[in-house]
Chains A and B, each alone.
Chain A
Amino acid sequence: MASGGIDMEVIRQKVGDAEEFRSKQLRARDMLRGDLDDKDLDEFVQERVLTTTLEKASDWARGNSFFPLTFGLACCAIEMMTVAASRLDIARFGYEAFRASPRQADLLVLSGRISIKMAPVIRRIYDQMLEPKYVIAMGACSSSMGVFNNYAIVPADKFMPVDVHVPGCPPRPEALMHGILELRSMVHGDPTLGWRERYQAEGTEEVYPLAPADATGVNVFGAGGTEGTNA
Chain B
Amino acid sequence: MPDAATLERLVGALKANDADSVIDTVESPGRVAIEVKPESIVGSLEVLRSAGYEFLASVHGVDYYPHEPRLGVDYELLSREACDRVALTLRVSTEDPHLPSVTPTWPCANNHEREAYDMFGLVFDGHPDLRRILMPEDYEGHPQRRDFPIGGEPVLFTHNEHNVPRWFE
Asked whether any CB of A lies within 8 Å of a CB of B in the complex, the reply is yes
**Is there contact, CB below 8 Å, between A145 and B156?**
no
Q: Which residues of A contact B143 (CB under 8 A)?
A: 151-152
- The smallest beta-carbon distance between B73 and chain A, in angstroms, is 22
Let me know if B66 is at the binding interface, CB within 8 A.
no
- CB of A55 within 8 Å of the partner chain: no
Asked if B167 contacts A157 (CB within 8 A), the reply is yes
Q: Is the CB of B150 within 8 A of A151?
A: yes
B29 at the interface (CB under 8 A from A): no
Residue A150 at the chain B interface, CB threshold 8 Å: yes
The answer to whether B136 touches A117, judged by C-beta atoms less than 8 angstroms apart, is yes
Chain B residues with CB below 8 A from A145, complex form? 152-153, 155
CB proximity to B under 8 Å, residues A123-170:
144-145, 149-155, 157-159, 161
A116 within 8 Å of B (CB atoms): yes
**Which residues of A are found within 8 Å of B152, using beta-carbon distances?**
145, 149-151, 153
With A155-B155, A155-B156 as given contacts, are A161 and B149 in contact (CB-CB < 8 Å)?
no
- CB nearest neighbor in B for A162: B168
Known contacts A116-B136, A151-B148, A152-B143; decide if A144 and B155 are in contact (CB<8 Å): yes
Q: Are B150 and A150 in contact (CB under 8 A)?
A: yes
B155:A150 contact, CB within 8 angstroms: no
The chain A residue sitting closest to B151, CB to CB, is: A151
CB distance from A46 to the nearest CB of B (A): 46
Question: Once the chains are docked, how many angstroms separate the CA of A195 from the CA of B101?
Answer: 55
**A157 near B148: Cβ-Cβ < 8 Å:** no
The residue that A161 contacts in the complex, of B134, B139, B148, B168, with Cβ under 8 A, is: B168
A200 to B161, CA, bound (A): 14
**Bound-complex Cα distance A72 to B142 (A):** 28
Nearest first, the 4 A-B pairs at minimum CB distance are A151-B151, A149-B152, A144-B155, A199-B168
Task: Give 26 A-B contacts (CB < 8 Å), ordered by A residue.
Answer: A116-B139, A117-B134, A144-B156, A145-B152, A145-B153, A145-B155, A149-B150, A149-B151, A149-B153, A150-B150, A150-B151, A150-B152, A151-B143, A151-B151, A152-B143, A152-B151, A153-B152, A155-B153, A155-B156, A157-B161, A157-B167, A158-B153, A161-B168, A199-B168, A200-B168, A201-B168
14 further A-B pairs in the complex, CB-CB below 8 A; given A116-B139, A145-B155, A152-B143? A145-B153, A149-B150, A149-B155, A150-B151, A151-B150, A151-B151, A152-B151, A153-B152, A154-B153, A155-B156, A157-B161, A157-B168, A158-B153, A161-B168
